[in-house]
Structure 1
């Protein structure tokens, strides 16, 4: 046997408490992006995801996400974010703005909502006004931003890195 023994789909246990992170997606153009975000959210033990508009999950992409992740659909995101903010959640958007913080220097609050913008339009002004914080992920090449699902997945990973026990 070699130096490394292959362990496919190693299950990590040890969450002391459920994650207090909610993923909230503005209306998006691609169900593929929504489904990729759902799959990563489920792998990160996130229990709640909000999608808007006519979005739906593609089961072949989201895979096991539907069994562990509660997905709720709403017409618009604004009223939902206002309620979550009143319930004590910090509302954090992924977007490039004049005051966005580099994700490498950002510390999530345990009770956070991660708002993911549209692939082309980002996060519209009415939703930007509801955010408590805005983070951006540095880009070193072209294009000037990451795909919505890629950016959401990086932010999900960073949240889990900061709160590995839940």
Structure 2
């Protein structure tokens, strides 16, 4: 076994990109750490996120610390800033996305049990407080990442990576075999 070279990697990624049949977006509500925002941007670029919506006190994606963590991947993303969560969710819906919050909430369902085989916008919240109650009430669905270890929650950037992958995994499961 050997690692793939540049051309081989491009072919591999192109084959998976052809299987993407739905758009994926992220909405960040009050994600204050620029390092988390940068990490989320890198994941977003790797998994073909169409749009990044930034709300409230979220660190700016073009801040030097976010850019440093994103390692230049910000150039592959389109992002917009919104003053409040209600306005942002309105824009997300107008753009044709199902709004899915990611939160450990009483009525949330395991992310893998939600039907994410459509245009989806995953909503991620503040590092300490999660999503606001206003945001939770605006979501079409709320999911969570089941955890079996002794730690009860994930870092917001890690949760974003898991959620983005789950959306893509569900879409790829329906794609015809090559």
TM-score interval, normalised by the smaller of the two chains? 0.7 to 0.9
The alignment's C-alpha RMSD in Å is 1.9
- For normalisation by structure 2, the TM-score amounts to 0.82
- SS state of the match for residue 129, structure 1? helix
Equivalent residue number for residue 5 of structure 1: 2
- For normalisation by structure 1, the TM-score amounts to 0.88
Q: How many residues align?
A: 162
CA distance in 2, matches of 1:8, 1:36: 24
Deviates more, 1:80-89 or 1:22-31: 80-89
The equivalent position to 1:69 in structure 2, one of 57, 77, 89, is 77
The equivalent position to 1:160 in structure 2, one of 161, 168, 172, is 168
Displacement, 1:151?
A: 0.7
CA distance in 1, matches of 2:94, 2:78: 21
- SS state of the match for residue 47, structure 1? strand
Displacement, 1:29?
A: 2.3
Structure 1: 5+ residue runs without aligned partners? none
Listed one character per residue, the Cα deviations across residues 22-52 of structure 1 (whole Å, up to 9, x for unaligned) are 1000012211111111100100011210112
Matches of residues 125-140 of structure 1 in structure 2 within 5 Å? 125-140=133-148
The equivalent position to 2:155 in structure 1, one of 133, 147, 159, is 147
Structure with the largest fraction of helix = 2
Displacement, 1:62?
A: 0.8
Equivalent residue number for residue 39 of structure 1: 42
Matches of residues 1-150 of structure 1 in structure 2 within 5 Å? 4-7=1-4, 10-11=9-10, 12-14=13-15, 15-16=17-18, 19-52=22-55, 53=57, 55-57=59-61, 58-150=66-158
C-alpha spacing 1:134/1:111, structure 2 compared with 1 (3 Å): same
C-alpha spacing 1:94/1:117, structure 2 compared with 1 (3 Å): same
CA distance in 2, matches of 1:93, 1:132: 8
